[in-house]
Structure 1
């Protein structure tokens, strides 16, 4: 596991002069740390702006920002490779589901004692966020983002198809019917889209469908796949029918998420996504609406993905500097800036009490619906180090089914065999 803060100094000699980790400062000089933020577009600009503000107000610490050479989706393999050498950052943006995996590395810091400082106001973070950043009782960083999945709909595209916006009690059958009716092949308009690029985004939308029907991703002991249950097969079969039979799904094979561009340009009726896309929709002047996910028997359960700023050890000064920076970055005042720039949801309860919060709600129409939808986020992805591999196998199966190369049962059964083999490896 990870070493305590006081023990981090033993790594100091190993990191001098390393590109990814920066240079070890003189004992009486400013502490230099590097953050791999993995952000793009408005989010990248916002984090860089905030870092500049921190550097100006904290002369004893200098934070350098880098993308890490990867987007957030590709950060885990990038960090894993970097940690085999000394060219790793002090802070990296990592999905919450990756915490069990990254926490096993001895270079991951332990901030448990640091966050107990009353000034941090640790309990102000939502419980799901604190859970996502804590592994076996050890805090490995700070919460970065909390979100959930909703359906964004293009009002003009639905109206042109003679459809009303989805109501509060809509179902997945309604979703399929609306997608089919709003598809116009000649005009290049699709009802909805689904990623098939092989990343987590391909499976993220499947899990709520499975959960709503009473299924799950893995067995309770996390030793076997459960996603190839009748509930999983029914969910994927519905999507396959939309893609193969109805031809209402645009299959997005681009890591750059072309589906979002289609939605912005009026060629997509419905788009399953989250609060992070609202700034783009605002910039594109899309006339959009927001709805919770379709439901199953009245259950509109969604999925939430708390993401983390994870801290890595170089020496004690740098770990403390990284923690100090993150305490500042995740404070209510700085987070309101981040939220206003990016459309992200509040990661602290106290943010909703700030005077500028109402202006934030007005800036992003529909953000109030997404915030309220956190109540429908009842489960998290399995906290196992093997989850990324399981996700990749399922993503491959989804692609095979939606491309018409496999039926839903075969695709999920094949993914389950691979997942079971991965889960059987000791230490998972």
Structure 2
């Protein structure tokens, strides 16, 4: 019987029990002979770090239980302690220097170039040719995010995009009409200003300044819409400090410093969501992953595509992956068995109903229960349709996490009023250029 240990996200998002869990697994193995003998003839022991919390974490637990019930030859055990999704790359990078790394980890698609170059990352290209996997059924953008220079490093886990959610009651109270699909960023700023009320602690919208990717990826659509980009075509130079970049960050600075309509969230985008759920935030830039929480909080919300620039409503999408790592062939095969089941249409529809995530397979939209899913999450049809506005992905370079960190700092300094947009972006670009110039990047 194969034994898979899933290490989930603890309440603090910090894995303090990895070594203890590994030691416990070793003790279990001694009951059936030596670890080497067990790996050769007995249960295959695997770990998976999923980093999911809240409704997503609960859904994974439920699906793992069902997998165990239907696959007596494989057992999936969930233990707390793995990093959150945001902290997965640095934690995994450290783990890969030893033997304490997992067999499967949930990683953002933008991290694929970083992890693909590690020799411990499994090449799943041959496995994707198995008809049972249904590789062609995944959306093209997902397959691309999971493939680096012809090497498939994982299975698609999530596909999403950014939209604007708005509180219907709050906008109506401020005498503001609900935004229409053809709205602009000037409209966005005006609505945010009108729905801000300092006396009641109500803000028009929010922006993270926590230093993570959540602060950065919302800026890219504004730059793309204005004709700019993140990096040069060869990914060797930063270009986000162009006029388009200055215009984008300047808009946000005006909202934060001049209008006081921007709540600056120093937590990992958590306080902003709580404000929206409690009716003290007019608009919230987010995606399908929050719909389950909004439903639980009974928020009367609407959904609309991002404001546009000259009719361009380009958004950002972040396909994520279940990446597989090599210990031995049996474990890689066992990992693909689990992921084939987990990413199958029936399981994914249940995950979608639990979390509000978008369909990662085209076939899911043809399942009888898909219409029930659409009814459960008002506005999910808008978010699904918004995938057509997701035309670009974040730069496929191993240095992207460092670039992101530099830009996140520039955003924080600008929105806090400590720097103007040009100065902050120019400094971030100089740091990025130095990082991008490092050999092997």
SS of alignment partner, residue 426 of structure 1: coil
1:352 is aligned, of 361, 365, 387, to: 365
| Residue 338, structure 1, aligned to residue 351, structure 2 | yes
**Which residue pairs with 1:3 in the alignment?**
none
Change (3 A) 1:20 1:182: farther
Change (3 A) 1:409 1:357: same
Contact 1:191 1:270 in 2 (8 A): yes
**Which residue pairs with 2:276 in the alignment?**
263
SS of alignment partner, residue 46 of structure 2: strand
**Which residue pairs with 2:11 in the alignment?**
none
**Which residue pairs with 1:11 in the alignment?**
none
Q: How does 1:16-27 map to 2 (within 5 A)?
A: 18-19=22-23, 24=35, 25-27=38-40
Residue 68 of structure 1, CA deviation: 4.9
Deviations 1:309-350 (A, max 9, x none): 000111111110001100100000110010011000000000
Gaps of 5+ in 1: 1-14
Gaps of 5+ in 2: 1-18, 30-34
| Residue 249, structure 1, aligned to residue 262, structure 2 | yes
Counterpart Cα distance in 2 of 1:147 and 1:115: 22
1:378 is aligned, of 391, 397, 419, to: 391
**Which residue pairs with 2:204 in the alignment?**
191
Contact 2:146 2:152 in 1 (8 A): yes
Q: How does 1:51-130 map to 2 (within 5 A)?
A: 51-66=64-79, 68-130=81-143
Residue 29 of structure 1, CA deviation: 2.5
Residue 66 of structure 1, CA deviation: 4.2
Q: How does 1:28-427 map to 2 (within 5 A)?
A: 28-66=41-79, 68-255=81-268, 257-427=270-440
Deviations 1:366-397 (A, max 9, x none): 00000000000000000000000000000000
Residue 125 of structure 1, CA deviation: 0.2
Contact 1:35 1:63 in 2 (8 A): no
Change (3 A) 1:399 1:256: closer
Deviations 1:392-417 (A, max 9, x none): 00000000000000000000000000
* Range 324-333 or range 247-256, more displaced: 247-256
Q: Between the two structures, name the one with larger relative contact order (CA 8 Å, sep ≥ 6).
A: 1
Deviations 1:278-306 (A, max 9, x none): 00000000000000000000000000000
Contact 1:68 1:75 in 2 (8 A): no
Counterpart Cα distance in 2 of 1:108 and 1:38: 19
Contact 1:244 1:404 in 2 (8 A): yes
Counterpart Cα distance in 2 of 1:134 and 1:366: 31
Counterpart Cα distance in 2 of 1:262 and 1:18: 40
Counterpart Cα distance in 1 of 2:79 and 2:242: 42
CA RMSD for the aligned pairs? 1.4
Change (3 A) 1:91 1:66: farther
Residue 33 of structure 1, CA deviation: 1.5
Contact 2:214 2:269 in 1 (8 A): no
Residue 28 of structure 1, CA deviation: 3.3
How many aligned positions are there? 413
TM-score (norm 2): 0.92
Residue 147 of structure 1, CA deviation: 0.1
TM-score (norm 1): 0.94
Residue 143 of structure 1, CA deviation: 0.2
